[in-house]
Amino acid sequence: MSVRRRDLIALSFAGTAVFFGVWWLVASNKHVNALILPDPVKVIATFVYLTSHTFANYTIQQHLGSSLLRFTYGFVLAAVIGVPLGLAMGWLRWLDYIVSPLFEAVRFVAPIAWVPFAVLWFGTGIGGPVLIIFAGAFPPCLVNAYRGARHVDRNLIEAAQTLGASDRTIIFQVLLPAALPSIVAGLRISAGLGWQSLIGAELIVVSAGIGYLMVQGQSNLDTAIVMSGMIAIGLVGVAIDVALRQLERLVGGTRGMA
Amino acid sequence: MKNRARLVTGIITLLAVCAMWYLTTQATHLISTGRFPSPADVYTAARQISHPPGYANATIWQHIVQSLELVVLGFLVAAATGVPLGIAMGLSPRFEAFVNPVFLMIRPVPPLAWIPLAVVWFGLSAAAQIFVVWFAAFVPALINAYTGVRTVDRTLIEAARIHGASRRRLLTDVIVPGALPFIFTGLRLSLQASWTTLIAAQLVGSIAGLGHVLIVASIDIYPGMIFYGMLWVAILGAAMTFVLAQTERLAMPWHQ
């Protein structure tokens, strides 16, 4: 079973080379339209070109900027409502009993299916897309905060109660710190889903943003622009995930130290 | 007793919400029916789309069949490609090294971001939607099959080997059953991703299906139909999750 490390690295390079090689070969075939399948270099060149030239009214950074703004609104809204509600549901049984059936009833509606109502209620500017991002990002925030609060060691809470801690103290000193790792894990999942939903929303309803750039590229049948958008989306998605992973590690590290 | 309290409160809550829905829309018009439909609006929409000629070119049943067909097809193709590839990557470090860099490059691009590309390549056809659904379902299927194989107890594999199991028996009797819980987790995630992605793909570009109903209703500003379309998206999403959970129980009777 022992495989030399050097062999594995060589195989990794070989795999990447085969992928780009096949892509290149197919793209350079005379029968394949360069607009439908551009070669890898053309895609990179287009990406670089879009950073300094406008397409669909803005450069790619400006499109990304407006996407990130919407994402931030929707994500923060989901966290600010979802996390406290989840914690409260874990803490107060009657609230759990009331909210759970409603949540279960709505949960299976795919976030993207909110598009028509989002447009009807909040328009296509910033409100509509924010609702769709919210629909994607809200469930993991709520579920993970709820689970975090439910799985707190009962003994800890009872010990605090025995020692005369007020409810307020218990919530902030016991419940919240113990639920924090679960909450942060939920935030990471919801950031990923929110970012996804944003792309869906932008494909359909807005007039700026990275999804809009891709739709415009699609209607011009310009694959290089579509792929540039995909690269930008992938890079930002990874950046968001890395940032929240750092947060996760930070929270995991401080656990039990106080 | 605890479960009964939960059930009773749940039913009361849902009834209360339905009553409030009726009161605020139909009875008092507190909420304009141009913004949110009343129960009567939804009923009208349901009746209109249930009988020919239906709405958005077809009846609801034809839209449902169209959506289900595409999601099942995309999901099956994804499971048939993702799971074996994941198992192969888990078994062979060489193969993993060969495939992984490309997979890592493609993976961060969310499935929905493939929709414009699919439309350029395949037009507004069923092929475009199957392609996007396939991609959405492929990633979780592969990752979980890989993880499943990697977490199979080494001792079990060594024991089977010492007792003279052939490579094939090792695969079918030890490794695949050992990886099955992970594989099913992956398939569940795949199915959810497939459904969301299909609805999105049909919203963006299609000529039939539930997503198409939603976008036509949105353009027509027909809240009753929007609501009814969303209702079916939710019902079918829940039903598919349920069917997969049942399959999981049948496939792994030892893992309850």
Q: What are the pLDDT digits (tens) for A49-74? A: 998 888 888 899 999 999 999 999 99
Cα first-last separation, chain A: 45
DSSP B55: B
Instruction: Please judge whether A112 and B114 are an interchain contact, meaning their C-beta atoms are less than 8 angstroms apart.
Output: no
Output the pLDDT for position B2.
66
- Report the residue of B104, B107, B117, B227 to disrupt the A interface, i.e. the one with the largest count of A CBs within 10 Å: B117
Average pLDDT of chain B is: 89
Output the pLDDT for position A204.
83
Tell me what ipTM this predicted complex has. 0.85
Residue A4 has pLDDT above 50, yes or no: yes
CA distance B195 to B244: 13
Residue A203 has pLDDT above 90, yes or no: no
More confident residue, B253 or B93: B93
Q: Which of residues 182-201 of B touch A (CB under 8 A)?
A: 195-196, 199-200
CA distance A194 to B112: 12
* Closest-approach residue (CA) in chain A for B4: A97
DSSP B58: B
- Residue B20 shares a structural domain with residue B42: no
Tell me: the pLDDT tens digits for B152-182?
888 888 888 888 888 888 888 888 888 998 9
* Closest-approach residue (CA) in chain B for A229: B113
Q: Looking at the 3D structure of chain B, how many domains does it have? A: 2
A131 near B CB under 8 A: no
**Is B158 domain-assigned?**
yes
**Is B256 domain-assigned?**
no
Tell me: the pLDDT tens digits for A67-93?
999 999 999 999 999 999 999 998 888
* Closest-approach residue (CA) in chain A for B218: A116
* Closest-approach residue (CA) in chain A for B3: A97
Q: Where residue B42 sits, what CATH number does that domain have?
A: 1.10.3720.10
**Is B221 domain-assigned?**
yes
Backbone angles phi, psi at B234, to 5 degrees: -70, -45
- Residue B178 shares a structural domain with residue B72: yes
Output the pLDDT for position A256.
44
Tell me: the pLDDT tens digits for A144-199?
999 999 888 888 888 888 888 888 888 888 888 888 989 999 999 999 999 989 99
All residues of chain A having their beta carbon less than 8 Å from the beta carbon of residue B199 are: 110, 112-113
A15 near B CB under 8 A: yes
Other Cβ atoms within 10 Å of B156 Cβ, number: 15
Contacts of B211-217 with CB under 8 Å at 24 or more apart are B211/A112, B211/A113, B211/B67, B212/B56, B212/B57, B212/B63, B213/B49, B213/B55, B213/B56, B213/B60, B213/B63, B214/A113, B214/A115, B214/A116, B215/A115, B215/A116, B215/A204, B216/B55, B216/B56, B217/A116, B217/B55, B217/B56
Asked whether the bond before B53 is cis by omega within 30 degrees of 0, the reply is: yes
Structural domain containing residue B18: 1-31
- Residue B235 shares a structural domain with residue B129: yes
- Residue B116 shares a structural domain with residue B148: yes
Distances (CA, A) of B21 to A110, B17, B38: 22, 6, 7
- Distance between A257 CA and the closest CA of chain B, angstroms: 31
The predicted model gives B101-129 an average pLDDT of 89
- Residue B105 shares a structural domain with residue B220: yes
Output the pLDDT for position B256.
56
Output the pLDDT for position A257.
40
Q: Which pTM was predicted?
A: 0.87
